[in-house]
Amino acid sequence: MMRFIPVREAILGSAILILLVLVASRFSGFVAPSNLANVFNDTAPLIILALGQMVVILTRCIDLSVAANLALTGMAAAMINVAMPGLPIPVIIAIAVLMGAFMGAINGVLVWKLSIPPIVVTLGTMTIFRGIIFLISDGKWVNSHEMSAAFTGFPRTVFLGLPVLSWIAIFTVIVFGIMMARTQFGRSIFAVGGNPHAAVYTGINVGKTQFWAFVVAGALAGLTGYLWVARYAVAYVDIAGGFELEVVAACVIGGISIAGGIGSVGGAVLGAIFLGVVKNALPVVNISPFWQLAISGSAILIAVAFNARSGRAKGRIILKSAEATQ
Amino acid sequence: MTTHFAPASPSAVVSMDLITKTFPGVKALDQVKLDLYPGQVTALVGENGAGKSTTVKILTGIYQTDGGTIRIDGDPVTFGSPNDAAKAGITAIHQETVLFDELSVAENIYIGHAPRNRFGLIDTAQMHRNAAKLLADIGAPFSSHTQLRELGIANKHLVAIARALSVDARVVIMDEPTAALSHKEIEELYELVETLKAQGKAILFISHKFDEIFRIADRYTVFRDGGFVGDGLIADITEGDLVTMMVGRSVDQIFPDRDHDVGEEVLKVVGYTHPTEFADINFELKRGEILGFYGLVGAGRSEFMQAFFGITKPSKGLCRVNGDIKVIRSPAEAVDNGIVYVPEDRGKQGAVIGLPIFQNITLPSLGRTSRNGFLQLAEEFKLAREYAERLDLRAASLDQDIGNLSGGNQQKVVIAKWLATQPQVIILDEPTKGIDIGSKAAVHEFMAELAAQGLSVIMVSSEIPEIIGMSDRVIVMRDGLIASELTGDEVTPEILVRHAAGITTPTESVAQ
């Protein structure tokens, strides 16, 4: 019997292919390799954030502060670049990741030590982070002409045919694939989400695992913060406003169970790509952005309904005769 | 195997005949029959998986039948929904009572059918008057205004029963009502069952405990593997015959022989104390020994074990493992010191759904199966296979989802998980609670085998036969303190019950 998670990924993959075929039948240029690469590059931030969110959701939490975290680290990175234009990009990236991780750690500590429900914690920090951006920037924008060429150029640098932004997403996917499948931390995340009581008796510290999940999600949000601001060459209070919901949507469409414990890296990536394709394809074939919202929403409901069906327990095998045929 | 049929009686309130229920690919019930009579208790007997729960769900309208007839007072009926069953006067009191903690007793009793005043609003005064009368009828020692959350589990059962009576139930289904009750509470429940009988209710009583069945049931019906085996009057059958009907073979209820010698001290516990739950717990445990912990529910046994295992924090106390003084502050440290704890509620605290079987088994042993921080899947598989084979785990593949395994096999996975850590001390909290006789014998066999291999076992159990049959030594706890430590001939049912209940003079009514 095949495990049902790959089946689910196959179905989501097929849905993406069907969508591409439908769009290609109206506008064949959409499926040209160069355009698909553009779509992927455009979806890269969503993929990175969805992986962080996946880890958090797997541990039975949720992080609504990722977009605000992204905006704050992005603003900080931009302001540092303006103040010290000579600072090398790797240093800026390191600062952004650490800052993001620190903000994730704040969420994590509140969930772990004070046992505040994650949705409340991150709703609070989301608002606080946005407020801090306003305080440090006075509500002003940092525009492209103030940023150094190296700062804005890095994510767009083409390397082996793809921009660095795409490569970072690919690299993150690989690291997460290994982390979830082959490290104790990855296994603990599934255990904590799948059955927290059992995890305790196994010697896994549930709160601590959730804390590290938030740190990971925060670090990725920080990384994306720099990439986002550099790519769009602008930083202001409201960048990526509401993006946290798109990130959660990507996870849900990708089959990450909102109740925790079930999900996969492949699922999160495909969920993000599905949303990315919808967002890029519909304008091309002259479908209004409102339809785009409706399609994304329907995809969420279909995905959840599908997961609820496949997750439903089967009847028990009680008759000996029935057992033999299994 | 002879099949017993009770003489057909036209007076049955509920009569299920040739009932069949099929789930996709599975026949859960195959042409079973069950009759319930007014003023009588019918015990539904069967091993886990015999189809008892399915029957209850059909009777209460949660499942619909695929074949057969249900008759109420001789008239065929169909229950399309739980509401239909409730209207027909059938009500169930579940293993875990389904009530609302934040509401008052009266609101719990009348939720869904509260008396209305002439404006169609809930008539609170009338509701409390009715509730108070129902509570007085069953001798409940609390008021209808009490918040449910303030009540203990036995009193919650009383509320559930009052609720059953409030809908004018004619049939009351009790699904393992004594599973979580202490000895005294069980006695009170028996009295209540007598009251219900006297009021002419037909009672369907589901229990794994034979002393209970012979104590309060008038009739029995036996199911096995989803099929009907027989029914009749309790007065006409012996305990042994009933067991034979239930398992389809004669089970000798003798516990495994254990005549090996115990070794040197492995664990010594000194002065464990908690501000509110237990105090001054001292004992030692030797290699290859099975130490029983007996007590009434709520005596502080599990609370001590959880603190000892590092889940909760005791205020005082230390332990010596193999002669070295250790402070255990977390479950991880306990596991590192070779101490593992198999908790009571294995369904909730055992298996991690979402991880395949082999990953469930290796979960506490990941340190041993990883190299340079990376898990070695091949090593994990090897370790998992070794213990799965030792426990005779039946699964198509170790890569399979654990959710697809039967309950018994899931339990084996949980035990394999702990054995894979190569522990010295294993704490088993109510190891056979709620499982059928065949599986119980297997668990006991296995426990004896572990002890013979030099593992020290702490067995927390509320079942007297198990305590007597399995333990080398017994510690009895009462009200958070160690009441006594018993060995050899001192371990009798009477002494256990007296020490656990704090009775100083011998009484004539002790547990059978």
Name which of B112, B183, B111, B168 is nearest B137 in CA terms. Answer: B168
Residue among A191, A202, A318 minimizing CB distance to B49: A318
Instruction: Quick: pLDDT tens for B363-399.
Output: 888 878 788 888 888 888 888 988 888 877 777 788 8
pLDDT band for B24, please (50, 70, 90 cuts): low
* Residue B398 and residue B441 in one domain: no
- A103 phi and psi angles, rounded to 5 deg: -65, -35
Interchain CB contacts (distance < 8 Å): A and B:
128
* Residue B23 and residue B94 in one domain: yes
Would you tell me how many other CB atoms lie within 10 Å of the CB of residue A308?
10
From residue B13, alpha-carbon distances to B4, B38, B199 in Å are: 21, 6, 14
Domain ranges, residue B204: 14-247
The 10 Å CB-count burial string (b at 16+, else e) for B108-120 is bbbeeebeeeeee
Any CB–CB contact under 8 A between A2 and chain B?
no
Would you tell me how many other CB atoms lie within 10 Å of the CB of residue B179?
17
* Residue B103 and residue B147 in one domain: yes
B171 is a domain residue: yes
B435 is a domain residue: yes
Would you tell me how many other CB atoms lie within 10 Å of the CB of residue A145?
6
B40 touches B13 (CB < 8 A): no
Interface of B with A in 431-450 (CB under 8 A): none
Any CB–CB contact under 8 A between A312 and chain B?
no
Last residue in a domain, options B187, B221, B247: B247
User: What are the chain A neighbours of B369 within 8 Å (beta carbons)?
Assistant: none
Question: Which of B63, B352, B397, B399 should one mutate to test binding to chain A, selecting the residue with the greatest count of A CBs within 10 A?
Answer: B352
User: What are the chain B neighbours of A317 within 8 Å (beta carbons)?
Assistant: 26, 406
B2 is a domain residue: no
Interface of B with A in 318-347 (CB under 8 A): 330-336, 341-343, 345
* Residue B91 and residue B187 in one domain: yes
* Token pair 């694939």: residue: A177
* Residue B361 and residue B448 in one domain: no
Q: Give the Cα separation of A313 and A304 in Å (integer).
A: 16
Subunit contact B401:A4, Cβ cutoff 8 A: yes
Q: Give the Cα separation of B231 and B4 in Å (integer).
A: 6
DSSP label of A31: G
Any CB–CB contact under 8 A between B374 and chain A?
yes
Last residue in a domain, options B187, B216, B247: B247
- Give me the number of domains chain B comprises: 3
Right CATH for A41-305 from 1.10.10, 1.20.272, 1.10.3470, 1.20.120: 1.10.3470
Q: Where are the domains of chain A?
A: 41-305
Provide the whole-model pTM.
Answer: 0.72
Subunit contact B350:A202, Cβ cutoff 8 A: no
* Residue B277 and residue B144 in one domain: no
Which residues, 6+ apart, have CB-to-CB distance to A34 below 8 Å? none
Residue among A201, A316, A320 minimizing CB distance to B28: A316
Which segments of B236-300 does DSSP mark as H helices, in order?
239-247
Q: Give the Cα separation of A30 and A280 in Å (integer).
A: 9
* Residue B158 and residue B232 in one domain: yes
Subunit contact A198:B350, Cβ cutoff 8 A: yes
Q: Is A183 exposed, middle or buried (0-12, 13-18, 19+ CB in 10 A)?
A: middle
Kind plus residue range of the DSSP H or E element containing B318: strand B316-321
Residue among B334, B353, B367 minimizing CB distance to A261: B353
Any CB–CB contact under 8 A between A121 and chain B?
no
Backbone dihedral region of A209: left (phi > 0), alpha (psi from -120 to 50 degrees) or beta? Answer: alpha
Any CB–CB contact under 8 A between A198 and chain B?
yes
Any CB–CB contact under 8 A between A153 and chain B?
no
B52 touches B46 (CB < 8 A): yes
Subunit contact A201:B311, Cβ cutoff 8 A: yes
Kind plus residue range of the DSSP H or E element containing B332: helix B331-336
Q: Give the Cα separation of A189 and A176 in Å (integer).
A: 12
Residue of chain B minimizing CA distance to A204: B332
Any CB–CB contact under 8 A between B68 and chain A?
no
* Residue B412 and residue B463 in one domain: no
CATH of the domain at B25: 3.40.50.300
Last residue in a domain, options B247, B277, B309: B247
* Residue B161 and residue B262 in one domain: no
Any CB–CB contact under 8 A between A199 and chain B?
yes
DSSP label of B305: H
A191 touches A202 (CB < 8 A): yes
B198 touches B138 (CB < 8 A): no
User: What are the chain B neighbours of A257 within 8 Å (beta carbons)?
Assistant: 354
Looking at CA atoms only, how far is residue A267 from chain B in angstroms? 15
- Judged by DSSP in three states, B121 sits in coil
B231 is a domain residue: yes
Q: What is the pLDDT along chain A (326 residues), one digit of tens a residue?
A: 334 446 778 888 998 999 899 889 988 888 899 999 999 999 999 999 999 999 999 999 999 999 999 999 999 999 999 999 989 999 999 999 999 999 999 999 999 999 899 999 999 999 999 999 999 999 899 998 899 999 999 999 999 989 999 999 999 999 999 999 889 899 999 999 988 888 888 888 999 999 999 999 999 999 999 999 999 999 999 999 889 999 999 999 998 988 888 899 999 999 999 999 988 888 888 888 788 778 878 888 888 787 766 555 444 444 444 444 43
Residue of chain B minimizing CA distance to A320: B225
* Residue B1 or residue B202, greater confidence: B202
Pairing assessment for the beta strands A162-163 and B14-23 based on DSSP bridges = unpaired
Subunit contact A198:B330, Cβ cutoff 8 A: no
* Residue B103 and residue B190 in one domain: yes
Subunit contact A190:B375, Cβ cutoff 8 A: no
ipTM of this complex:
0.72
Pairing assessment for the beta strands A162-163 and B481-487 based on DSSP bridges = unpaired
